[in-house]
């Protein structure tokens, strides 16, 4: 049976998160530690403490690791509410890339790896980064891996360059997606390796300026120069990296949609309030047909986005992979959220292109979202391939 009603528990949790974010987190948006390269580590820790005090920390993490253990639909409700501020997901420890890495470790890591990395990570003792994208290699097509690893006794030695590695500065550990060279009877192929960050062979070679500014310590180019990683730090099995990428990416596409949906809701609220109060040509601008139509389009697209996310989450909660569906949702929602944010900027006029409201940042964030976790064009190509096969 299909139902669009929230349970009493879900409705109460949504209200708690909305109140927490608007009352406790939004005031930090103008904090000088919230920089053009994202919030600093100091600010992240301070915000985490507020979420812990409110009992709203790590909602996506299984209870055994100290989280709230929410299913995907309830996560969608909570993540939308925490996304009302770009700092909300940082505070509640459910921002990218950490949220996706927690999910990946929970599903793939060995028990020893979970105790070493996932347990303290889920508790907010440190952050993580996920190193897949390369300047001239893996990105929208992860098969184009240029970062290589070779066997050396009981270790792997990694060489290569990654970029757009979110949160690399200050991260406690990294998951590196690389191509292992087979040797004798030892297998090769796309593989995920875990490494602490404060080890020889990892260099933060360049901080990247980017449109968005909501990720802790921004985005980096990272160079691996004879980085030595012990064999016990293989995540899963050698050569199975593509399979694990899907374990991480399909749910992560949806959680991106959830968080930035909250941002678009906030932008719409600000634009609507402005349209009620700002007068031009003898009436509030929201009563002019052009502005009213933009507000109406936003309202319809927000609800369409919400329902698409819930639909895909319901499939994941039933145990389905949702790869095809998450591609559909990510593409449709990212494009819609950008249109919504763009209309909000237009409604605000000159104010919309300034930092006087958070709408300008939300516009930048949603523009970047059309590329992150696969650009729309690649998802459409993948969707078309699947539906052609089903004919």
Q: Which domains does the chain have, with CATH numbers?
A: 8-95 (1.10.540.10), 128-239 (2.40.110.10), 242-389 (1.20.140.10)
Residue 212, token pair as written in the block: 């968005």
What pLDDT, on a 0 to 100 scale, did the predictor assign at position 1?
A: 58
Triad 239, 171, 198: Cα angle to 5° = 80
What pLDDT, on a 0 to 100 scale, did the predictor assign at position 306?
A: 98
Q: Strand pairing of 173-180 and 148-152?
A: parallel
Q: What is the pLDDT along the chain (391 residues), one digit of tens a residue?
A: 567 899 999 999 999 999 999 999 999 999 999 999 999 999 999 999 999 999 999 999 999 999 999 999 999 999 999 999 999 999 999 999 999 999 999 999 999 999 999 999 999 999 999 999 999 988 888 889 999 999 999 999 999 999 999 999 999 999 999 999 999 999 999 999 999 999 999 999 999 999 999 999 999 999 999 999 999 999 999 999 999 988 888 899 999 999 999 999 999 999 999 999 999 999 999 999 999 999 999 999 999 999 999 999 999 999 999 999 999 999 999 999 999 999 999 999 999 999 999 999 999 999 999 999 999 999 999 999 999 987 6
Q: Which residues contact 53 (CB under 8 A, 6 or more apart)?
A: none
Torsion on CA atoms 364, 369, 375, 379, rounded to nearest 10: -150
* Closest by CA position to 16, among listed 82, 94, 113: 82
What pLDDT, on a 0 to 100 scale, did the predictor assign at position 2?
A: 66
What pLDDT, on a 0 to 100 scale, did the predictor assign at position 390?
A: 79
Rounded-to-integer distance, Cα 182 and Cα 334, Å? 39
Torsion on CA atoms 35, 39, 45, 49, rounded to nearest 10: 100
Rounded-to-integer distance, Cα 308 and Cα 330, Å? 9
Rounded-to-integer distance, Cα 304 and Cα 315, Å? 17
* 3-class DSSP state of 328: helix
Sign of the dihedral through C-alpha 16, 76, 69, 172: negative
* 3-class DSSP state of 88: helix
Rounded-to-integer distance, Cα 282 and Cα 77, Å? 40
Rounded-to-integer distance, Cα 16 and Cα 97, Å? 24
Q: Which residues contact 72 (CB under 8 A, 6 or more apart)?
A: 251, 254, 313, 314, 316, 317
What pLDDT, on a 0 to 100 scale, did the predictor assign at position 139?
A: 87
Can you list the alpha helix ranges (DSSP code H) found in the chain? 8-20, 41-53, 72-82, 88-91, 98-108, 111-113, 119-122, 241-277, 289-317, 323-348, 359-369, 376-389
């Amino acid at each position: 049976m299909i139902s669009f009603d929230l349970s009493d528990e879900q409705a109460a949790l949504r209200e708690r998160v909305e109140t927490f974010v608007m009352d406790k987190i939004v005031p930090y948006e103008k904090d000088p530690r919230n920089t053009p390269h994202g919030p600093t580590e100091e600010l992240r820790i301070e915000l985490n403490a507020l979420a812990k005090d409110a009992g709203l920390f790590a909602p996506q993490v299984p209870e055994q690791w100290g989280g709230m253990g929410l299913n995907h639909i309830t996560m969608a409700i909570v993540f939308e509410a925490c996304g009302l501020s770009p700092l909300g997901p940082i505070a509640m420890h459910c921002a990218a890339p950490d949220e996706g890495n927690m999910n990946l470790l929970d599903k793939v890591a060995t028990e020893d790896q979970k105790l070493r990395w996932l347990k303290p990570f889920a508790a907010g003792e440190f952050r993580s980064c996920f190193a897949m994208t390369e300047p001239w290699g893996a990105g929208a097509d992860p098969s184009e891996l240029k970062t290589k690893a070779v066997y050396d006794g009981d270790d792997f030695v990694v060489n290569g360059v990654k970029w757009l590695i979110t949160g690399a500065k200050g991260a406690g550990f990294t998951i590196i997606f690389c191509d292992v060279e087979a040797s004798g009877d030892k297998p090769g192929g796309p593989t995920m390796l875990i490494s602490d960050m404060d080890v020889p062979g990892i260099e933060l070679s360049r901080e990247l300026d980017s449109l968005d500014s909501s990720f802790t310590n921004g985005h980096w180019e990272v160079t691996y120069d004879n980085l030595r990683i012990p064999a016990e730090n293989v995540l899963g099995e050698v050569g199975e990296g593509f399979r694990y990428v899907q374990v991480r990416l399909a749910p992560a596409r949806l959680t991106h949609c959830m968080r930035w949906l909250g941002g678009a809701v906030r932008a719409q609220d600000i634009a609507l309030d402005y349209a009620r109060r700002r007068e031009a040509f003898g009436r509030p601008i929201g009563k002019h047909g052009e502005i009213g139509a933009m507000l109406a389009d936003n309202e319809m697209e927000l609800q369409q986005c919400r329902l698409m996310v819930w639909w895909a989450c319901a499939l994941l909660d039933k145990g389905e992979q949702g790869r095809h569906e998450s591609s559909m949702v990510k593409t449709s929602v990212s494009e819609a959220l950008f249109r919504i944010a763009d209309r909000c900027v237009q409604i605000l006029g000159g104010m919309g292109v300034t930092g006087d409201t958070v709408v300008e940042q939300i516009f930048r964030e949603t523009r970047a979202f059309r590329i992150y976790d696969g650009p729309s064009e690649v998802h459409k190509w993948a969707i078309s391939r699947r539906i052609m096969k089903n004919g």
